[in-house]
Amino acid sequence: MTIKIGTRGSQLALWQAYHVQDLLKQNGAEAEIVTIETKGDKILDVTIAKIGSKGVFTEEIEEQLKDGRIDIAVHSAKDMQSTLPEGFELIAFGEREKSHDVLVSHKTIGLDQWDLVLGTSSTRRLAFLQKHYPHVKTVPVRGNLQTRIKKMKDGACDALWLAYAGAHRMAFDDMIVHEFDPTQFVPAVGQGSIAIEVYESLDQTKRNLVRKAVNHVQTEKCLIAERSFLKKMDGGCSIPVFGLATIENDVLTLSGGIISLDGKTTIEKSCCSTTNAAQKVGETLGEYILENGGREILEEIRIHQSN
């Protein structure tokens, strides 16, 4: 049996696809990797928010899933919109790497520097920066990780604000100069995990094999909670919504919220549940955030992004 894996063509995306390929081989299945260029890969001169947050890195891949050219798609879970198009679903989540954010640089820097320039295009990170380090300047830096590091070294910025998982998987650990506390700088929903997307017509035998080979049950429970929260917030990757679930002694704790673009207003809360109530706890947290000021922040953000 051969399973065709669709993926973006960046080195990080390919790392993820080869990782899934290895897991499948360990379970007796051959796998072929097909690289696909997405809108988010082609348009690098504007922020993701300006392109549109839904399907920026997935739309072209989903076309090939639907027509059967590929069997599964491997994504960074944080790139996945909260509501998938009809007929598509996520059937497995790979074991999560550490989920926190880091700064990567080729020189010694400190967040207390008044002339510091950080490279990031993330609305969540920009908002957190406004809240905690408003003196720090930022520039949007798009492209794959290697491209962004080259831009940094060429003088575009002093450091890049990245997910630890990507920096670690691309072996840039020696360039990490600061690690953000995930309780203060809560990561994006799904950060640190890979997600397997399929179309409803996929053969059940392949579906079962992929899930058996790739899915990490504890990670799945956490991401069900986080994505349920994101869906309730109607969030995409251009909205500064954050959420992180953890499990200890069969108790799932979900911490999440939303922050205004200027960093002045943060609505956040933690909720606990059993692991079997992961979806419900996400919905409960989302309802709380919306009812306690989150709805107004979302409206302000959408007005701002439409101008």
Residue type, 45: D
Pick the catalytic residue from 22, 41, 71, 79: 79
Torsional sign, CA 90, 124, 10, 193: negative
The reply to whether 79 belongs to the active site is: yes
Of the candidates 54, 90, 30, 37, the residue with the CA atom closest to the CA atom of residue 227:
90
Beta bridge partners of 268: 257
Give me 10's structure tokens.
Answer: 């960046």
- In three-state form (DSSP H/G/I as H, E/B as E, the rest C), the secondary structure along the chain is CEEEEEECCCHHHHHHHHHHHHHHHHCCCEEEEEECCCHHHHCCCCCHHHHCCCCCCCHHHHHHHHCCCCCEEEEEHHHCCCCCCCCEEEEEECCCCCCCEEEECCCCCCCCCCCCEEECCCHHHHHHHHHHCCCCEEECCCCCHHHHHHHHHCCCCCEEEEEHHHHHHCCCHHHEEEECCCCCCCCCCCCCCEEEEEECCCCHHHHHHHHHHHCCHHHHHHHHHHHHHHHHCCCCCCCCEEEEEEEECCEEEEEEEEECCCCCCEEEEEEEEEHHHHHHHHHHHHHHHHHHHHHHHHHHHHHHHHC
Q: Which positions are catalytic?
A: 79
